[in-house]
């Protein structure tokens, strides 16, 4: 059969699939209409994060059972569920979309440098799924791992400890933004593979920093969550590229960034196609040098007021000294953060970067016990 005939034949198959898919979606949205009335009678909210997480887990498992990458299917279902929620809200008469916002709110939204990230545009908390881990809303998440991947043994030890202590995501820098060109720059792609293997070994999604556009593809290939460091918060070309990377992004606040600048940077990623953005407060530069940076703890309630995006805190980079990190972690959850990101190391005194702010494993265990009321 010629290629053109082959294409026609496959397109006919696709037409049949699309037909069935459309009929299924019609049936699904009709069910949504039915459930909304029942929920309205019980005064239940339109959105049910737990139910959505349950659905996504089922889809993920089915895709993996079929040996298919679940990511695109999960993203599609998140869109379907977002539309389901909008349908319910519209039916209830309080869809918060800009065109139906009261003039004063519409005008306020128009004046903002960020819209997709704005709470005015999306009343409910957003959830970001990193594999099976759900960040945001009522969920509380711990990300833990070394500042940098240094060796297979080191990252495996950290992954084991993170898993054992109940952390949800493994971190590990591979491309390191260092103030000095003479400092350890990270293990690069080799480190990515070690991190990926450690995450798979212990069933933990992994997060690592991406520093440049030409790294996006390889970092996205080997990790589940892409981190934008504080110094790259306004690297707009990188933010645009991450809109198309197909992986959730954790966006650190710049050292001297206002909250609106931070949210405007999140908007870049969202406006270019990626709604899965997590904000990370990591401390700001201030006049006082008692800590490496000054943890702007007030940023958490402020950003939650202005945006629906999940917000986590990185006490390690804020404090710069291990002895403050447990208390700052408790403060972060107490003030409403959706998660914390903690640096750990088997021997911080031998760490190639950020040793002074890395927790020994016994201290990390104490921290996890201290924040357990929120987990
Ligand atoms: C349908 C419901 O409402 C919403 C839409 C969902 C969906 O599209 O599957 C799931 C949970 C809710 O966020 C429900 O609560 O079950």
**27 burial level (CB within 10 Å; 0-12, 13-18, 19+):** exposed
Q: Whose CA is nearest to atom 10 of ligand 1?
A: 52
Angle between helices 3-41 and 71-92 (to 10 degrees): 40
Q: Which atom of ligand 1 approaches the CA of 77 most closely?
A: 8
Q: Average pLDDT, whole number, for the chain?
A: 91
How remote is the CA of residue 84 from the centroid of ligand 1, in Å? 7
Measure the CA–CA gap between 95 and 23, rounded to whole angstroms: 25
Residues 223, 278 within the same domain: yes
Give residue-wise pLDDT tens across range 76-110.
Answer: 998 999 889 888 877 765 444 555 566 676 677 77
Q: Which residues sit with their C-beta closer than 6 Å to ligand 1?
A: 32, 35, 47-48, 51-52, 55, 80-81, 84-85
Give the predicted TM-score (pTM) of the model. 0.72
pLDDT for 2-46, tens place per residue?
A: 899 999 999 999 999 999 999 999 989 888 887 887 777 666 777
Question: DSSP class of residue 125?
Answer: P
Tell me how far apart the alpha carbons of residues 117 and 66 are, in angstroms, rounded to a whole number: 35
| Domain end residue (candidates: 69, 92, 115) | 92
Two tokens at 118? 């704005």
- Domain membership flag for residue 193: yes
Helix, coil or strand: residue 186: coil
pLDDT in tens, 228-242: 999 999 999 999 999
C-alpha closest to that of 295 among 264, 258, 332: 332
How far does residue 25's CA lie from ligand 1's centre (Å)?
14
The residue assigned the tokens 């921290």 is: 367
Residues pairing with 342 in the sheet:
144
Please state which of the ranges 14-23, 190-199, 274-283, 339-348 shows the lowest mean pLDDT.
14-23
Q: Is 313 within the bounds of a domain?
A: yes
> Within a 10 A sphere around the Cβ of 85, how many other Cβ atoms?
20
DSSP letter assigned to residue 116: T
Task: Give the confidence band of 180 by pLDDT, cuts at 50, 70, 90.
Answer: confident
Same-domain pairing of 305 and 195:
yes
Report the pLDDT averaged over residues 251-271.
97
Alpha carbon of 60 to ligand 1 centroid (Å): 17
Q: Are residues 10 and 145 in the same domain?
A: no
- Do 175 and 198 reside in the same domain of the chain? yes
Determine the atom of ligand 1 nearest the C-alpha atom of 39.
15
ipTM above 0.85, yes or no: yes
Confidence check: pLDDT of 194 > 70: yes
- Same-domain pairing of 136 and 31: no
Q: Is 308 found in the same domain as 209?
A: yes
pLDDT at 56 over 50: yes
Residue 97 falls within a domain, yes or no?
A: no
pLDDT of residue 240: 96
- Same domain membership, residue 164 and residue 308: yes
What average pLDDT does the segment 187-206 reach? 97
Rounded CA-CA distance 86/250 in Å is 26
CA 142 to CA 327: how far, in whole Å?
15
Asked whether residue 98 is domain-assigned, the answer is no
Residue 45 Cα, ligand 1 centroid: separation in angstroms?
Answer: 10
Task: Select from 60, 92, 124 the last residue of a domain.
Answer: 92
- The answer to whether the beta carbons of residues 239 and 265 sit under 8 Å apart is yes
**Residue 342: inside a domain:** yes
Residue where one domain finishes, among candidates 62, 92, 122 = 92
Q: Alpha helix (H) ranges present in the chain?
A: 3-41, 49-65, 71-92, 103-111, 152-164, 188-202, 213-222, 236-242, 259-271, 299-306, 315-319, 325-334, 361-370
Does residue 252 fall inside a structural domain? yes
Phi and psi angles of residue 135, each rounded to the nearest 5 degrees, phi first: -115, 130
Q: Are residues 111 and 88 in the same domain?
A: no
Mutate to test the pocket of ligand 1, among 48, 59, 80 (most ligand atoms within 8 A of CB): 48
The verdict on 72 and 199 lying in the same domain is no
**Separation of alpha carbons 168 and 305, rounded Å:** 26
Kindly state the DSSP code that residue 139 receives in the 8-state scheme: -
Q: And the tokens for 60?
A: 């993920």
Please report whether residue 172 resides in a domain: yes
Centroid of ligand 1 to alpha carbon of 119 (angstroms): 20
Q: Give kind and range of the element (H or E) at residue 144.
A: strand 141-145
In a shared domain, residues 87 and 109: no
Structurally, the chain folds into a number of domains equal to 2
Q: What is the pLDDT of residue 95?
A: 41
CATH of the domain at 254: 3.20.20.70
Shared domain check, 277 and 221: yes
Whichever domain contains 42, its CATH number is: 1.20.59.10
Give the H/E segment covering residue 35: helix 3-41
What is the three-class DSSP state of 327? helix
> How many CB atoms within 10 Å of residue 70?
20
**Structure confidence at residue 102 (pLDDT):** 63
Closest approach atom of ligand 1 to CA 32: 1
CA of 31, closest atom in ligand 1: 1
Whole-angstrom distance, CA of residue 329 vs CA of residue 118:
26
Same domain, 136 and 79: no
Task: Provide the domain limits for residue 289.
Answer: 103-374
Q: What is the distance in A from the centroid of ligand 1 to the CA of 172?
A: 35
In a domain, 215, yes or no: yes
| 102 vs 226 pLDDT, higher one | 226
Beta bridge partners of 51: none
């Amino acid at each position: 059969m010629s290629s053109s005939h082959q294409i026609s034949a496959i397109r006919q198959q696709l037409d049949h699939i699309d037909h069935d898919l459309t009929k299924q979606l019609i049936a699904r949205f009709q069910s949504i209409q039915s459930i909304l009335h029942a929920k309205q009678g019980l005064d239940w909210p339109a959105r049910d994060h737990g139910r959505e997480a349950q659905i996504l887990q089922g889809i993920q498992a089915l895709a993996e059972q079929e040996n298919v990458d679940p990511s695109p299917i999960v993203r599609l279902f998140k869109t379907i569920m977002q539309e389901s929620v909008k349908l319910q809200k519209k039916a209830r008469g309080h869809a918060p979309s800009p065109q139906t916002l009261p003039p004063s709110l519409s005008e306020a939204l128009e004046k903002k440098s960020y819209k997709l990230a704005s709470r005015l545009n999306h009343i409910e908390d957003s959830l970001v799924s990193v594999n099976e881990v759900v960040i945001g809303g009522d969920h509380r998440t711990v990300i833990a791992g070394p500042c940098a991947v240094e060796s297979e043994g080191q990252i495996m030890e950290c992954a084991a400890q993170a898993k054992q202590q109940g952390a949800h995501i493994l971190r590990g820098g591979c491309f390191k933004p260092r103030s000095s060109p003479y400092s350890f720059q990270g293990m690069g792609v080799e480190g990515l593979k070690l991190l990926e293997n450690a995450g798979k070994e212990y069933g933990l999604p992994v997060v690592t920093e991406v520093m440049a556009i030409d790294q996006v593809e390889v970092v996205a290939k080997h990790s589940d969550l892409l981190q934008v460091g504080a110094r790259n918060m306004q690297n707009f070309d990188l933010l645009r590229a991450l809109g198309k990377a197909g992986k959730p992004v954790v966006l650190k606040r710049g050292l001297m960034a206002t909250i609106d600048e931070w949210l405007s940077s999140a908007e870049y990623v969202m406006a270019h196609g990626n709604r899965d953005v997590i904000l990370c407060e990591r401390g700001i530069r201030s006049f006082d040098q008692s800590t490496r940076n000054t943890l702007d703890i007030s940023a958490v309630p402020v950003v939650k007021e202005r945006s629906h995006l999940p917000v986590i805190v990185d006490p390690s980079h804020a404090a710069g000294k291990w002895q403050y990190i447990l208390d700052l972690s408790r403060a972060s959850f107490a003030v409403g953060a959706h998660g914390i990101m903690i640096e750990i190391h088997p021997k911080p005194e031998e760490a190639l970067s950020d040793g002074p702010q890395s927790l020994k494993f016994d201290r990390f265990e104490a921290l996890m016990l201290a924040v357990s009321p929120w987990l």
